[in-house]
């Protein structure tokens, strides 16, 4: 297997040993002499390969192992077993050459100096990453421009809104021109406009620089806007790894048909085609089994004078829920 992938892991596993203790004084006393532990598998043998320039959505419910995986890829956690290489480095060695080529942005953590303008934090990042002046200025000005930060960078960070801070945070984390971006909930808590701004910036950054991006998010709009490929993780194991468009194929057992007729019909007649989500005499939204879709469409077209008909996959967040549900279902 060629090794020039941006990220490559085999059997990547992380097990945490956590203390356990029952409630009550007796249990507290017992724990003084005999502490009990149990192993919690946060990531259970993950195989990944991400090519340079790919933008990958890394999805899963809370506690699925997303952040633990990102921490192992960025060097914050040492894997319990398995192998991991990012940009040709073993991240847990935390070599400076590696740390200079990556960035980890966590939506709930802050690298900016709270009391000072973001420009001061940018200067500090320049010193930390040993950036030559011309590159620093070019990169800084480009990021300020792309993120529309011009009016914000000379205000103390504490005076910025959450969204403005996040934009400044992202600019700060990209000054050193990282080749790989690990983004953990970068749009967390932001309003819709700001989410859209950050999404379009990330897409633009990826286009301009060919940087690889691995993104965890609970906002499906982030995924749809940025990621051609998604990896779904649940209970530390990969449930799905493939094109976003294939996700529905695998997990959604139905499609949604929206039919508009030229002439009214009896609304009760819609139920013979599938589950009726909504209906009027001239329009219906139907849920139809994936396999039966073609036949149902043919029936509707032959039975009615159809003005418009669309066939849609269910919304992506519904598909993801179905994927999680399939993992929970007894086999």
Partner 1 sequence: MTATDTVATTLADRPIDYEPTWRAYIRLYGTLMRTSIAQQFQYRTANYLYMIGMIAEPVVYLVVWQTIAEAQGGEVGGYTAGTFAAYYIVWTLVRNMNIVFTPFGWEERIREGQLSAQLVLPVHPIHYDLGSFAGWKVVVIALWLPIAGVLALVFRPTLDPTAGQIVAFAVAIWGAYLIRSLFLWLLGMLTFFTTRVTAIFEAYFAAELLLSGRLIPMALMPEWVQTLAMFLPFESTFGFPITALVGPITQEELVVGLLLQLFWIVVGAVAVRFAWRGAVKHYTAVSG
Positions that interact with partner 1 (CB under 8 A):
16-17, 51-55, 68, 71-72, 74-78, 87, 92, 94, 96, 99-100, 102-104, 106, 108-111, 113, 115-116, 120, 123-124, 126-132, 135, 156, 176-179, 206-211
Q: How far is the CB of 84 from partner 1 (least distance, A)?
A: 13
- What element of type H or E holds 257? strand 254-261
Contact 316, 57 (CB under 8 A): no
Q: How far is the CB of 265 from partner 1 (least distance, A)?
A: 44
At 10 the three-state DSSP class reads strand
Contact 18, 38 (CB under 8 A): yes
DSSP collapsed to 3 states, 307-331: EEEEEECCCHHHHHHHHHHHHHCCC
Q: How far is the CB of 125 from partner 1 (least distance, A)?
A: 9
Q: How far is the CB of 200 from partner 1 (least distance, A)?
A: 14
Instruction: Pick between residue 124 and residue 194 the one whose CB is nearest to partner 1.
Output: 124
- Tell me which residue of 127, 146, 126, 148 sits closest to 136, measured CA to CA: 126
- What element of type H or E holds 39? strand 36-50
Q: How far is the CB of 172 from partner 1 (least distance, A)?
A: 11
Residues of 158-196 as b/e, b for ≥16 C-beta within 10 angstroms? eebeebbbbbbbbbbbbbbbbbbbbbbbbbbebeeebbe
Q: How far is the CB of 111 from partner 1 (least distance, A)?
A: 6
Residues of 22-51 as b/e, b for ≥16 C-beta within 10 angstroms? eeeeeeeeeeeeeeeeeeebbbbbbebebe
Q: At what angle do helices 118-128 and 133-146 cross, to 10 degrees?
A: 140
Instruction: Pick between residue 97 and residue 275 the one whose CB is nearest to partner 1.
Output: 97
Q: How far is the CB of 166 from partner 1 (least distance, A)?
A: 15
């Amino acid at each position: 297997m060629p090794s020039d992938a941006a990220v490559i892991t085999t059997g990547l596993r992380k097990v945490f040993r956590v203390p356990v203790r029952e409630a009550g004084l007796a249990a507290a006393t017992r724990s003084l002499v005999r502490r009990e532990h149990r192993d919690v598998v946060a990531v259970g043998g993950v195989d990944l390969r991400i090519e340079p320039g790919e933008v990958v959505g890394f999805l899963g419910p809370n506690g699925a192992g997303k952040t633990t995986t990102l921490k192992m890829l960025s060097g914050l956690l040492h894997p319990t077993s398995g192998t991991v290489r990012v940009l040709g480095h073993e991240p847990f060695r935390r070599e400076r050459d590696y740390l200079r080529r990556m960035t980890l942005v966590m939506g709930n953590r802050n690298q900016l100096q709270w009391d000072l303008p973001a420009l001061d934090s940018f200067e500090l990042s320049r010193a930390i990453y040993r950036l030559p002046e011309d590159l620093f200025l070019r990169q800084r000005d480009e990021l300020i421009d792309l993120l529309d930060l011009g009016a914000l960078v000379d205000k103390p960070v504490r005076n910025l809104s959450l969204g403005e801070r996040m934009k400044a945070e992202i600019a700060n984390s990209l000054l050193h021109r990282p080749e790989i971006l690990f983004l953990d909930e970068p749009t967390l808590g932001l309003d819709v406009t700001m989410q859209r701004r950050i999404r379009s910036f990330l897409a633009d950054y990826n286009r301009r620089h060919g940087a690889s991006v691995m993104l965890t998010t609970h906002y499906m709009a982030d995924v749809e806007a940025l990621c051609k490929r998604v990896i779904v993780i649940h209970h530390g194991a990969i449930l799905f790894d493939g094109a976003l468009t294939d996700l529905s194929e695998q997990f959604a057992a139905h499609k949604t048909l929206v039919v508009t007729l030229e002439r009214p019909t009896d609304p009760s007649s819609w139920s013979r085609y599938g589950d009726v989500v909504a209906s009027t005499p001239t329009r219906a939204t139907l849920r139809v089994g994936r396999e039966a879709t073609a036949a149902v469409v043919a029936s509707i077209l032959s039975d009615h004078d159809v003005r418009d008909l669309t066939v849609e996959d269910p919304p992506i967040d519904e598909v993801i829920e179905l994927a999680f549900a399939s993992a929970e279902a007894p086999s």
